[in-house]
Amino acid sequence: MVFLLRRLGFYLAAFIAAATINFFLPRLMPGDPIEIMFSSAGAELSMENLAALKLTFGFVDGPLWQQYLTYLQSIFTGDLGRSIKYFPLPVTSVLGHALVWTIGLMGTATIISFTLGTFLGILAAWRRGSVFDIVVSVGAIFATSVPAVVTSLIVLFFFGFTLGWFPTGYAADPALDPAFTLTYIGSLLYHGVLPMVTLCTVLTGGFAVTMRNNMINLLGEDYIVMARAKGLSDSRVMLWYAARNALLPTVSSLAIAIGTILGGSLVTEVVYNYPGLGNILYQAILARDYPVIQGQLLIMTIAMLVANFIVDVSYVLLDPRLRGA
Amino acid sequence: MGTLVRSLIRNRKALVGMIIISVIVLIAVAAPLLTEYNPAARVGRPHQPPSAEHWLGTTRIGQDVFSRLIHGARTSLAVGFGAGLLITALGTALGIIAGYRGGKTDEVISFFTNMVLVVPNLPLLLVLAAFIGQASPLVIAVILGFTSWAWGARVTRAETLSVKHKDFIKSAEMMGEPRWRIMTFEIFPNLISIVGINFIGSVIFAIITEATLEFLGLGDPKTVSWGMMLYNAQKASALSVGAWWDILTPCFALALLGIGLSLLNFAVDEIANPRLRTGNRLSRWTTLIRTGEGRL
């Protein structure tokens, strides 16, 4: 319990650090910070709205610490300001809408690659040195060392443009209205195939290698030898004795993956014009929509911290040795 | 040193990796000799397919793709190795100091290290780059250096802790060697494999991240680099107009360089830790796939 509370304190500090970066960045840049942040707003903002935005980001008359407190206060009350590009939508609703798409796409991709990667890793470790092991290991090195932007573009080129099997952009056919119908869901799945394939290619290798190495470390343990000596079947030893224990460190890489999916799918979303968080961030950068850009950093930091906290909790639950501490 | 080089040559992965990297470095160095075209100038008609005149075709505005590719290699390599060096230097120094000094110093450094590790790297870089505006390769390298050292610091600290209690450190302390000397001449040489792995990993990370930031439109448009090639090709809708040479060329170059560096990294690890060669060949590799950082 004390362990978890200490972690919570640390995460709070990390979150405030991210907020502090957001606060100081515009002020550290040469020139007028208000000019930098809101110049692209132009005539679209009325004086009244501009004043409200300034207040949200702590541009109040007063010393720096007072501005900083004003900014922190607006963050902790959940006010991230309004988007300049999509004015008058608040940043939270712009991001909230995109979050659903990102979680749908990346969540599915993470589950598929975690399951696939883990099984590939288990089998590769079990048949260490075999052709299967070499193919998995070398394939994983290649898949993880090629930048995601390259993987995205190559997949898009071959399956989207050259072969023309799958659509090359958007989350669903733009002509269809979002509705809970078979046509719409079908279109959704059809459009999701290429981004999904790309993300799974990028993610699976890492999970496979982690699992394989954890397994190999465990295969020499006495309790594995014991299980074999008892005459248990191969698959039982592999899955219930080795894999079960090797899974523990993999949980941490899964949670970190969940934390980074929000930022990690950025390039893929941009290439496939998928309406998730990454694409929103990209559009915001192009439009210099600073409230949205800054809101993204906070949202992604929170996602990362929540994921880390889940790892902490799951470790306490999964590893009895930690429970006493 | 001699043994290291000999083992590297004997290792097949290292050999392939080194050949790939050497070829890319040679081409980058000799770039002006290999092509007569100025990489930034219009030298042909727009979007010409590969031909004898333009080996890899031309871009939307009529620049020679081959010339841009080999000149761009210089930028990618410079940013990669420059930022890699900075990341490794910072990470190693902080890691050794935290691990060896312990106490309050360790607590402060570890706190910051852990904090930097949980703030997601790519969004942070994007926010920084967005405020800077059009970031030149030098600016990108410096930002990368100062935001990405945390992983190296954590790994180096852990290794330092395991070396610190060895007898030769104790005897150096007894003899009254100053602390900086113990850290640089007693501890550092024993961490050389982890430092090397950190360095190559950081180079890969820097090259990928530079290309990603530029692809997303945060680079300086005047730069000739693989990331800007991707950005310009994407902006010119190269794929939908069928100009595959424009966009696939930097793609394959980045993939090749990434694979070359990874193979080398993998091999250095095997050589530095003989135990890995026979059984646990890939264990260090896990830590190389920088969870949260490398995945862009």
Residues 95-114 (A) with a CB less than 8 A from some CB of B: none
Mutate to test the interface with B, among A32, A145, A270 (most CBs of B within 10 A): A145
User: What digits encode the pLDDT tens for the residues B153-209?
Assistant: 988 898 888 888 888 888 888 898 888 888 888 888 888 878 888 898 899 889 988
Question: Is residue A199 a contact partner of residue A113, using CB atoms and an 8 Å limit?
Answer: yes
Residues 76-115 (B) with a CB less than 8 A from some CB of A: 111, 114-115
Instruction: Look up tokens 């219930």; give the residue.
Output: A240
Task: Indicate whether B89 pLDDT > 90.
Answer: yes
Pick from A11, A216, A256: which is nearest to B279 by CB? A216
Contact A304 B118 (CB under 8 A): yes
Q: Is B53 helix (H, G, I), strand (E, B) or coil?
A: coil
Query: How far from A72 is each of A60, A67, A77, A242, A276, CA to CA, in Å?
Result: 13, 9, 9, 48, 27
* Angstrom distance (rounded) from CA B206 to CA B209: 5
Question: Is residue A261 a contact partner of residue A106, using CB atoms and an 8 Å limit?
Answer: yes
Task: Indicate whether B1 pLDDT > 60.
Answer: no
Strand partners, B135: B219
Query: How far from A196 is each of A13, A104, A112, A163, A166, CA to CA, in Å?
Result: 35, 10, 9, 17, 12
Query: How far from B68 is each of A242, A291, B60, B266, B269, CA to CA, in Å?
Result: 51, 36, 13, 30, 34
Task: Indicate whether B97 pLDDT > 80.
Answer: yes
Give B202's contacts in chain A (Cβ within 8 Å): none
Instruction: Locate all alpha helices (DSSP H) within chain B, ordered by sequence.
Output: 2-10, 12-29, 31-34, 65-101, 103-118, 121-132, 137-147, 150-164, 167-174, 179-181, 192-215, 226-235, 244-272, 274-278, 283-288
Instruction: Identify the segments of chain A with pLDDT beneath 50.
Output: 325
Pick from A137, A300, A303: which is nearest to B282 by CB? A137
Rg of chain A over Cα atoms, rounded to whole angstroms, equals 24
Most confident range (mean pLDDT) of A301-315, B113-127, B214-228 is B214-228
Contact A11 B118 (CB under 8 A): yes
User: What digits encode the pLDDT tens for the residues B250-263?
Assistant: 889 999 998 899 88
Question: Is residue B271 a contact partner of residue B4, using CB atoms and an 8 Å limit?
Answer: yes
Pick from B118, B266, B296: which is nearest to A305 by CB? B118
Residues 19-78 (B) with a CB less than 8 A from some CB of A: none
Pick from B119, B217, B286: which is nearest to A209 by CB? B286
Query: Residue A11 is encoded by which pair of tokens?
Result: 């995460």
Instruction: Look up tokens 């059809």; give the residue.
Output: A190
Q: What confidence score (pLDDT) does residue B20 get? A: 92
Give A300's contacts in chain B (Cβ within 8 Å): 120, 123
Helix, strand, coil shares, percent, chain A, to 5:
80, 0, 20
Residue A257 at interface with chain B, using a CB cutoff of 8 Å: yes
The reported pTM is 0.83
In the 8-state DSSP scheme, what is residue B187? I
Please report which confidence band the pLDDT of residue B286 belongs to, taking 50, 70 and 90 as the band edges: very low
Q: Is A109 helix (H, G, I), strand (E, B) or coil?
A: helix
Distance to chain A for B6, nearest Cα, Å:
23
| A·B CB contacts under 8 A | 181
CB atoms within 10 A of CB B45: 9
Please report which confidence band the pLDDT of residue B23 belongs to, taking 50, 70 and 90 as the band edges: very high
Torsion angle of the four alpha carbons B82, A19, A278, A141, in this order, in degrees rounded to the nearest 10: 40
Task: Indicate whether B13 pLDDT > 70.
Answer: yes
What chain A residue is nearest to B125 in terms of C-alpha separation? A297
Q: Is B119 helix (H, G, I), strand (E, B) or coil?
A: coil
Residues 168-207 (B) with a CB less than 8 A from some CB of A: 204
Residues 137-196 (A) with a CB less than 8 A from some CB of B: 137, 141-142, 144-150, 153-154, 156-157, 160-161, 168
Q: What is the ipTM of this complex?
A: 0.80
**At residue B206, what is the residue type?**
A
Distance to chain A for B129, nearest Cα, Å:
9
